Structure 1
Amino acid sequence: MITMLTLYSYWRSSTSYRVRVALNLKGLSYRTVPVDLVAGAQRAPDYVTKNPSKAVPTLVLEDGTVLTQSLAILDYLEHTAPDPALLPSDPLQRAKVLAAAQIIASDIHPVNNFKVLSRLKSHHGFTGDTAAAWMRHWISEGLEAYQALLPDAPTYSFANTPQLCDLCLVAQLYNAHRWGVDLTPFARLLDIEKQALKLPAFDAARPENQQDAA
């Protein structure tokens, strides 16, 4: 049984946001240790021993076991704290939820994360404006694909309760708002976001509600 957990997190990290929501939904006790990505805290030797990818989130279990990568952490939480379920038991529906989640986790996030943007600026001449345009392009393309997968009826993406893909979506929409993405074509996704943020588990996980929020 899971007891107290330690989450290494950065307030604006969408991957950390996903995990915070899951921990909150499942009613799990955890403490947060901020990792300032802008200041380079993720490259500190003691942190790299926990997370060799120099990224967040990192979840440390009470016995000291370290888990990295947000989807792997979410999978662990789903198996060890299955209520409420974030994945359907039906294999076909489960595949649909995972496909939507992976559009965000595998298509959008890898080309838009902090280390990629830093490299584009430091080695490829990107300015703040060109970096923002890069972000908007990939976020828009990914959200278009995500929305195309969804049925019309449910409150959330595939059900009337939040599932794993909704955690990924709401976290990514935070980035979309931040970078000025034109969200006019994504009314269905904005409706999901609006409903999700009414829930205490999502609201408490918002970046602006974190202890390290700037």
Structure 2
Amino acid sequence: MSRAVLYDYFRSSAAYRVRIALNLKGVDYEQRSINLAEGVQKGGDYRAVNPQGFVPCLEIDGHTLTQSLSIAVYLDQTIPEPALMPRDPIDGAHVRSLALMIACDIHPLNNLRVLKYLAGELGVSEAQKDEWYRHWIAEGLTALEAMAKPRAGAYLFGDQPTLADVCLVPQLYNARRFNVPLDPYPYLRRADETATAHPAFAAAHPDKQDH
């Protein structure tokens, strides 16, 4: 297998997820930073790689893959161990639901391009923008806590990391950046604490990346 190439941005939640998944699967990869804050993703060079202009984008096995959850599923299908998804269909559906709550319901309302649009084109104040962020995070995490609680273990589901934890850890990292109180979510905090102590998660942390 040739070395994979990850088009990355250190603070991107979606790219953070893929770094975790690659580390869990033991994939050797080269990182190429796409500075979202400086608008590099809008340039023609990167659009030629990923027409959507988002990160992450992963070149692996002769293919170019986009979308963090799609990349994680590909890695899980081609590198079965350690598994990111339970084999039982009901357990798998539960884990996917937790992951999708984060990746599809919480994160899109609070990513950089949305926050920039609020502050720029719509002219909302910094305080209003931060309130927008905290509102949607709190609403999403409250539901996620309730969904996870009955089947949580050391991780969000059981006692081994799954796709749900791959999504959770970046989301809580960003919640802390915006001073969202996390005390109401003991099961989420426990899973996050367990996961961030895992070497694969720790190595993917934004503070460990080149900016």
Shorter-chain TM-score bucket reads: over 0.9
Alpha-carbon contact 1:19-1:73 (below 8 Å) kept? yes
**Secondary structure of the equivalent of 1:123?**
coil
**Secondary structure of the equivalent of 1:39?**
coil
Q: Quote the residue 1:48 is aligned against.
A: 47
Alpha-carbon contact 2:145-2:188 (below 8 Å) kept? yes
Alpha-carbon contact 2:153-2:191 (below 8 Å) kept? no
1:124 alignment partner AA: L
Q: Quote the residue 1:163 is aligned against.
A: 162
Alpha-carbon contact 1:15-1:56 (below 8 Å) kept? yes
Q: Quote the residue 2:112 is aligned against.
A: 114
Q: Quote the residue 1:97 is aligned against.
A: 95
**Secondary structure of the equivalent of 1:129?**
helix
Moved over 3 A (4+): none
CA distance in structure 2 between the aligned counterparts of 1:179 and 1:95, rounded to whole angstroms: 31
CA distance in structure 1 between the aligned counterparts of 2:29 and 2:43, rounded to whole angstroms: 23
Q: Structure 2 vs 1, CA of residues 49 and 115 (structure 1 numbering), >3 Å: closer, same or farther? A: same
Q: Quote the residue 2:86 is aligned against.
A: 88
2:157 alignment partner AA: F
**Equivalent pairs, count:** 210
Give how far 1:108 is off.
Answer: 0.7
2:5 alignment partner AA: T
Report the identity percentage: 46
Q: After the TM superposition, which of the residue ranges 172-181 and 123-132 deviates more from structure 2?
A: 123-132
1:200 alignment partner AA: P
Q: Quote the residue 1:136 is aligned against.
A: 134
Q: After the TM superposition, which of the residue ranges 89-98 and 108-117 deviates more from structure 2?
A: 108-117
> Structure 2: which 5+ runs fail to align?
none
Q: Quote the residue 1:124 is aligned against.
A: 122
CA distance in structure 1 between the aligned counterparts of 2:70 and 2:151, rounded to whole angstroms: 29
Alpha-carbon contact 2:152-2:187 (below 8 Å) kept? no
CA distance in structure 1 between the aligned counterparts of 2:103 and 2:152, rounded to whole angstroms: 24
> Structure 1: which 5+ runs fail to align?
none
TM-score scaled by length of structure 2: 0.96
Give how far 1:120 is off.
Answer: 1.1
Q: Quote the residue 1:68 is aligned against.
A: 66
Deviations 1:43-80 (A, max 9, x none): 110101111221100001252x2111101111111111
Alpha-carbon contact 1:9-1:57 (below 8 Å) kept? yes
CA distance in structure 2 between the aligned counterparts of 1:204 and 1:163, rounded to whole angstroms: 17
Q: After the TM superposition, which of the residue ranges 2-11 and 201-210 deviates more from structure 2?
A: 2-11
Give how far 1:3 is off.
Answer: 3.9
Alpha-carbon contact 1:3-1:28 (below 8 Å) kept? no
CA distance in structure 2 between the aligned counterparts of 1:164 and 1:37, rounded to whole angstroms: 25
Deviations 1:3-31 (A, max 9, x none): 41000010000101110001001111001
2:114 alignment partner AA: V
RMSD: 1.1
